[in-house]
Amino acid sequence: MAESSVRDRTSMNVTKTFVASVSIGCAFFFCYSIRAPVAEQGKSVPTNLQLLSSVASGGNSIESQSRLVADTHGSIAVTRTPQSVELEKATAEAHEVVMCAQYKQDVWAASALLEPPVEGANPIQLKEREESLAAINARLSVSTPICENNAKSQENAYPKLLRAAQLGDMDAAVCYVEAPFPLDADQLAPIGLEDYRKNALALIDIGIQRGDWRFIELMRTAAQRAEMVHHAQRASSWFRRLIKPTPEDAYLYARLEQLGAHDAFSEQVSRMAESWRDGLPASAVDALNQRASNEYQQFFAQMPSLEEFPKSCGF
């Protein structure tokens, strides 16, 4: 449900234009695990719309690109296809990029937590501090051997994320859309921004059709954050310029999350939605409520309830 499709959509079709052009760099983070990748600058990357359509309809990354065969004993075995092998490689590269970005943040955070606690900290705060440090150290035990002396691990983050996303890795798609990495002058040029928008909006459509709440959260955040930040901050960010923010969009995405929210979290999201509803004409609110209800029934009614805001690709 990207900007172009949420407002005018009569049916949620996968965006047919999925542009990719050149390469970039930087890094970011998966909790688990424009210009886009090309062999030669200026040439576009072919998209795999059949694979993306499979993912949008519920195909599960590598598994959806493998076929089941019966062996001589009648049991079921999974035969890996060239596409599944390619996806596995692209996913590993993308996850290494974001893991090493998290590694940098974890090193800094661990250092800060090892400093003496603030005077007057209560037992609860001290316990939370200890738990945070334990979690960081657990991540560092995995990431340090890979990232400590690997300067190249964070190069070309966006092409790697985009390629994995094109092949069906929705974690990579979330990180690509959020675009949290610093951008250089070429990436901030109009052609870089336009390529990012086309790719990101196509991935958002796919994620929403799959019932992935993270993409609703990304659009809600984009609609609200871009409205609230200073122009200088917005100019240095792809994500903050993904869509033109409007109160209508902010209300629509908050209303969608409210429909999927559970108990106390529903009340929190409801208050947020109400704050964006103020000032909108009653007719507009009615139309947005109907649209949110339709989208929820079509894509999210069978998904688990939300207990908190969906986590995207953030520290």
Q: What contacts 308, CB < 8 A, 6 or more positions away?
A: 265
What's the pLDDT at 94? 87
The backbone torsions φ and ψ at residue 22, rounded to the nearest 5 degrees and listed phi first, read -120, -160
**Residue, of 2 and 127, whose pLDDT is higher:** 127
Longest dimension (CA), the chain: 69
Give CA–CA dist 214/308, Å, rounded: 11
Residue 84: band (very low, low, confident or very high) from pLDDT cuts 50, 70, 90? confident
Q: What's this model's pTM, rounded to 2 decimal places?
A: 0.68
181: which DSSP letter?
A: S
Residue 303: band (very low, low, confident or very high) from pLDDT cuts 50, 70, 90? very high
**Residue, of 154 and 231, whose pLDDT is higher:** 154
Average pLDDT, the chain: 75
Instruction: Report the sign of the C-alpha dihedral through residues 244, 7, 254, 304, in that order.
Output: negative
Q: Are 169 and 94 in contact (CB under 8 A)?
A: yes
Query: Could you tell me the residue ranges of all domains in the chain?
Result: 15-68+75-210, 212-315
Residue 2: band (very low, low, confident or very high) from pLDDT cuts 50, 70, 90? low
Residue 163: band (very low, low, confident or very high) from pLDDT cuts 50, 70, 90? very high
What's the pLDDT at 93? 86
What's the pLDDT at 103? 87
Task: Identify the top-confidence range among 4-13, 37-46, 125-134.
Answer: 125-134
Q: Are 199 and 222 in contact (CB under 8 A)?
A: no
Task: Identify the top-confidence range among 159-168, 270-279, 287-296.
Answer: 287-296
Span 300-304, average pLDDT: 95
pLDDT at residue 19 greater than cutoff 50: no
pLDDT at residue 231 greater than cutoff 50: no
Give CA–CA dist 136/142, Å, rounded: 10
Give CA–CA dist 43/252, Å, rounded: 37
Residue 280: band (very low, low, confident or very high) from pLDDT cuts 50, 70, 90? very high
What's the pLDDT at 182? 66
Instruction: Report the sign of the C-alpha dihedral through residues 244, 245, 251, 256, in that order.
Output: positive
Give CA–CA dist 12/35, Å, rounded: 26
Q: What percent of the chain has pLDDT over 70?
A: 68
Residues in the chain: 315
pLDDT at residue 24 greater than cutoff 50: no
Q: What percent of the chain has pLDDT over 90?
A: 38
Give CA–CA dist 194/64, Å, rounded: 31
Residue 166: band (very low, low, confident or very high) from pLDDT cuts 50, 70, 90? very high
Residue 269, judged by CB atoms within 10 A of its CB (0-12, 13-18, 19+), counts as: buried
Lowest mean pLDDT across 43-52, 68-77, 141-150, 210-219: 43-52
